[in-house]
């Protein structure tokens, strides 16, 4: 008998965790499961996308404070064949407080503290409390699992599983990029404008490129965040303001990716980096730091990995391949092979095995 799945997540705004949940939930629906998403706050940007995939969405919790959310979830009628799956700290904490011990699964999507704005000791305490209450945890990369262990935010005795993100179509799109009308080379990234993403490094890369080769390179940044004004000011200070386009958030990014010559990713750390898969799936060569989960996603031998956070090293890597068709083809061939490792069907099946174990345990009680 197919079971029901309730995903509890902090928001369904645009973000890597939220977009991956959309893909996973849609795949679970295609596999015949009844799937519902319960989100806790903010604007439901992806609401229509979930509904179009046949995924039910509970809109009522977002209107409540945390205490009322706790009471509402605690009072929700339990189902014998229901799997509850929590994503992101607020949702995890709510499930840990509201539900019976060992009755839910959590996914850790980030290589960062459970409570990054608070004291490290409190963050570890909350994280370990949640994970102790959970039946099992999922880390979206080995880098996330390693962080949880080294930071003390996870007990070594916890049943933890690494399950990678996946794409619905994990192959390179056959759609062609628009023909370039000039010698301008288009760089781009998709990123929240926050400290973690190190956009200042990206702006310095652009400065180094254009100081070496006139104003040949232009940069488009898709995303929003609290550092927008600060970054715009930095672009002016660096003398690259006219070469930067700030696009804001885009829900459909496929056409943006196909407008690029290179996708450049300068994050200081990543739990996974879904945008790397998205760029590769559109046939765009990726340049990124060899740090955190990025080599897991791109592959440790990816020719576009940069071994430092030095802007000149990034610039040299981009220049090295800009006018070299042989190297460019090597990038794209490597990426096409690497992409095959990230199928959402494989991701869904790994989740299904874990869900079945949870349900088997519940039936034995």
> Does any domain span residue 176?
no
**CA gap 123, 104 in Å, rounded:** 20
Mean model confidence pLDDT for the chain? 93
| In the predicted structure, residue 159 carries a pLDDT above the cut 70 | yes
272 vs 321: CA distance, rounded Å: 25
Distance CA 248, CA 344 (A): 27
Per-residue DSSP letter, 340: T
Greatest CA separation for the chain: 70
Alpha carbon distances (Å) from 325 to 49, 56, 253: 38, 47, 26
pLDDT exceeds 70 at position 155? yes
pLDDT above 60 (res 162): yes
Is 50 exceeded by the pLDDT of residue 181?
no
Task: Please check whether residues 335 and 347 belong to one and the same domain.
Answer: no
For residues 49 and 67, state if they share a domain.
yes
Q: What confidence score (pLDDT) does residue 71 get? A: 97
Element (H, E) at 60: none
Task: Say if residue 189 is in the same domain as residue 229.
Answer: yes
Examine the domain organization and report whether 243 and 110 are in the same domain. Answer: no
Do residues 263 and 125 both lie within one domain? no
pLDDT at residue number 156: 65
110-142 pLDDT tens trace: 999 999 999 999 999 999 999 999 999 999 999
Does the pLDDT value for residue 172 go beyond 90? Answer: no
Give the confidence band of 269 by pLDDT, cuts at 50, 70, 90. very high
How far CA 91 is from CA of 96, 231, 256, 350, in Å, comes to 9, 31, 32, 22
Which residue spans within the chain are E strands per DSSP? 4-9, 34-39, 56-58, 82-87, 104-108, 136-139, 160-162, 185-190, 217-222, 244-248, 262-265, 286-289, 305-306
Among candidates 249, 181, 270, which has minimal Cα distance to 218? 181
d(Cα 311, Cα 20) in Å, to the nearest integer? 30
> What residues contact 365, with CB distance under 8 A and at least 6 apart?
none
How many separate domains does the chain show? 2
Mean pLDDT throughout 36-63?
97
Predicted local distance difference test score (pLDDT) of residue 1: 47
Q: Which residues pair with 222 in a beta bridge?
A: 190, 248
Do 194 and 160 lie in one domain? The reply is no
CATH number of the domain bearing residue 335: 3.40.50.2000
Burial of 7 (0-12, 13-18, 19+ CB in 10 A): buried
Q: Which domain holds residue 268?
A: 185-339
Locate 215 and state its tokens: 């104003």
Q: Is residue 130 part of a domain?
A: yes
- Tell me, yes or no, whether 174 lies in a domain: no
Start-to-end CA distance of the chain, whole Å, equals 19
């Amino acid at each position: 008998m197919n079971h029901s799945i309730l995903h509890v997540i902090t928001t369904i705004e645009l973000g890597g965790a939220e977009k991956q949940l959309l893909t996973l939930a849609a795949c679970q629906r295609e596999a015949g499961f009844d799937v519902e998403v319960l989100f806790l706050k903010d604007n439901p940007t992806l609401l229509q996308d979930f509904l179009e995939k046949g995924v039910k969405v509970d809109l009522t919790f977002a209107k409540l404070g945390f205490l009322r959310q706790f009471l509402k979830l605690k009072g929700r009628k339990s189902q014998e064949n229901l799997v509850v799956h929590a994503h992101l700290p607020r949702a995890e904490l709510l499930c840990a407080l509201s539900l019976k011990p060992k009755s839910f699964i959590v996914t850790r999507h980030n290589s960062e503290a459970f409570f990054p704005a608070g004291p490290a000791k409190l963050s570890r305490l909350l994280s370990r409390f949640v994970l102790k209450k959970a039946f099992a945890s999922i880390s979206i990369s080995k880098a996330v699992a390693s962080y949880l262990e080294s930071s003390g935010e996870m007990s070594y005795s916890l049943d933890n599983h690494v399950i990678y993100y996946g794409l619905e179509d994990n192959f390179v799109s056959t759609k062609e990029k628009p023909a370039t009308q000039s010698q301008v080379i288009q760089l781009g990234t998709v990123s929240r404008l926050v400290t973690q993403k190190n956009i200042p490094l990206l702006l310095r890369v652009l400065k180094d490129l254009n100081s070496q080769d006139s104003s040949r390179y232009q940069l488009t940044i898709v995303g929003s965040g609290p550092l927008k004004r600060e970054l715009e000011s930095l672009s002016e200070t660096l003398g690259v303001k006219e070469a930067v386009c700030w696009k804001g958030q885009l829900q459909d990014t496929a056409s943006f990716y196909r407008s690029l010559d290179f996708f450049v990713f300068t994050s200081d750390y990543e739990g996974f980096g879904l945008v790397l898969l998205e760029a590769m799936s559109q046939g765009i060569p990726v340049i990124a730091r060899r740090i955190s989960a990025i080599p897991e996603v791109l592959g440790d031998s990816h020719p576009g990995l940069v071994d430092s956070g030095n802007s000149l090293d990034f610039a040299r890597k981009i220049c090295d391949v800009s006018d070299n068709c042989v190297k460019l083809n090597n990038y794209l061939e490597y990426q096409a092979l690497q992409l095959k490792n990230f199928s959402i069907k494989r991701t869904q099946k790994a989740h299904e095995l874990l869900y079945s174990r949870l349900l088997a345990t519940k039936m034995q009680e």
